[in-house]
């Protein structure tokens, strides 16, 4: 089967970083997969594609209106018509769904979060099958987007890697290295994290030489965050490193991973950190609630981030042995729940169901409410 994997962009992000594993898995099942992005953005995901030996095509070199992007994609289809258009992220879904309607090519769409644009909801019947990247998203597709259960499947975007670089255990005396990976965007709540770090240090000034936070990523909030670091006098405590291709090396140099997102679907960064043996400090954002278990695999930032972060830091410095054990238990959780075999099986089930629908000529979603 020939598949176009159509994604909104190749920016730094969890869904974009998952493209390489998704495509390689589909190829291993015997399918011809082409990666097509509507626009480039920061191209952070392109590095991972290149490392995996995968090529890609761009429909535009900058953000364009829907008719322009759609026309560009229709030209791609005229040259290389796929059997299936597999879409990912809102704009990729929208372009692919319109292309599918105009050409008669069936569309299968990924959903990566529990938020939805109005146009995504209105156009939901234009996809033959919907894939949630976590059980939380699957429930959202069924209960909030009103897609019948037999037209929704799950494919968690993460697969564990037993050979991944491992983080060094914290000895309780050296500088506690905290880190986060993400786009510098308000949904990641990095501004609130900086406030929380400052609040902790105001209460415990002796700890200013005992912790360091490094954030890996770039985005529209970079200038504002750099300004805030200066305003809070955190230059010696916080580093905004920018983009980097070597995520594994970065994680191996940490003692704990922090995720402060307003919302998440399947957070690849959290799961990669746990795979590296890191305890996680996180807001209770959707699927992360299952992974980050208080006092077992990490610590949860409930409510106001400032007192929550303060409480967790005090606990970590008072209980370093428990903290290190959380890292070991986090890795065990990941290796057991997200094995390569389970990842491959999820993909196989989706392809089997898709092939069945294509062969039977089924017309799913026809009974959805308007």
Residue by residue, pLDDT tens for the chain (370 residues) are: 999 999 999 987 778 889 999 999 999 999 999 999 999 988 888 988 998 999 999 999 998 999 999 999 999 999 999 999 999 999 999 999 999 999 999 999 999 888 889 999 999 999 999 999 988 899 999 999 999 999 999 999 899 999 999 999 999 999 999 999 988 999 899 999 999 999 999 999 999 999 999 999 888 999 999 999 999 999 999 999 988 768 899 999 999 999 998 877 678 899 999 999 999 999 987 668 888 999 999 999 999 999 999 999 999 999 999 999 999 999 999 999 999 999 999 999 999 998 887 774 444 443 344 3
| Residue 60 phi, psi (nearest 5) | -155, 155
Residue 108 near residue 84 (C-beta atoms within 8 A): yes
pTM, two decimals, is 0.82
Packing angle, helices 44-51 and 19-28, rounded to 10: 30
Residue-level length of the chain:
370
Burial 327-349 (b: 16+ CB within 10 A, else e): bebbbebbeeebeeeebeebbee
Handedness of CA 143, 156, 11, 71 (dihedral sign): negative
Handedness of CA 174, 180, 181, 184 (dihedral sign): negative
Task: List the Cα angle 22/20/144 in 5-degree steps.
Answer: 45
Matching residue, tokens 């294509």: 358
């Amino acid at each position: 089967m020939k598949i176009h994997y159509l994604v909104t962009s190749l920016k730094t992000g969890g869904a974009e970083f998952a493209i390489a594993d998704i495509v390689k898995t589909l190829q291993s099942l015997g399918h011809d997969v082409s990666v097509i992005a509507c626009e480039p953005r920061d191209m952070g995901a392109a590095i991972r594609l290149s490392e995996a030996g995968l090529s890609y095509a761009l429909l535009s070199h900058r953000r364009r209106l829907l008719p322009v992007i759609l026309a560009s994609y229709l030209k791609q289809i005229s040259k290389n018509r796929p059997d299936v258009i597999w879409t990912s992220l809102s704009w990729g879904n929208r372009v692919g769904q319109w292309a599918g309607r105009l050409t008669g090519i069936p569309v299968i769409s990924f959903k990566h979060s529990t938020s939805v644009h109005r146009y995504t909801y209105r156009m939901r019947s234009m996809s033959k099958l919907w894939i949630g990247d976590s059980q939380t998203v699957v429930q959202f597709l069924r209960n909030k987007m009103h897609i019948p259960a037999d037209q929704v499947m799950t494919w968690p975007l993460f697969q564990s890697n037993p050979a991944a670089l491992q983080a060094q255990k914290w000895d309780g005396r050296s500088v506690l290295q905290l880190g986060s990976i993400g786009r510098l965007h308000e949904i990641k709540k990095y501004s609130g994290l900086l406030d929380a770090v400052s609040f902790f240090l105001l209460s415990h000034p002796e700890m200013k030489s005992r912790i360091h936070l490094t954030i890996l990523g770039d985005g529209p909030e970079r200038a504002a965050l750099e300004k805030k670091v200066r305003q809070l006098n955190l230059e010696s405590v916080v580093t905004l490193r920018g983009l980097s291709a070597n995520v594994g090396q970065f994680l191996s140099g940490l003692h704990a991973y922090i995720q402060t997102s307003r919302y998440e679907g399947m957070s690849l960064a959290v799961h990669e950190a746990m795979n590296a043996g890191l305890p996680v400090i996180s807001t209770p954002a959707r699927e992360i609630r299952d992974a980050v278990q208080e006092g077992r695999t990490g610590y949860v930032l409930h409510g106001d981030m400032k007192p929550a972060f303060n409480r967790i830091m005090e606990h970590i410095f008072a209980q370093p042995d428990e903290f290190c054990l959380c890292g070991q238990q986090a890795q065990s959780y990941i290796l057991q729940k997200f094995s390569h075999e389970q990842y491959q099986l999820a993909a196989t089930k989706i392809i089997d169901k898709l092939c069945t629908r294509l062969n039977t000529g089924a017309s799913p979603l026809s009974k959805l409410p308007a």
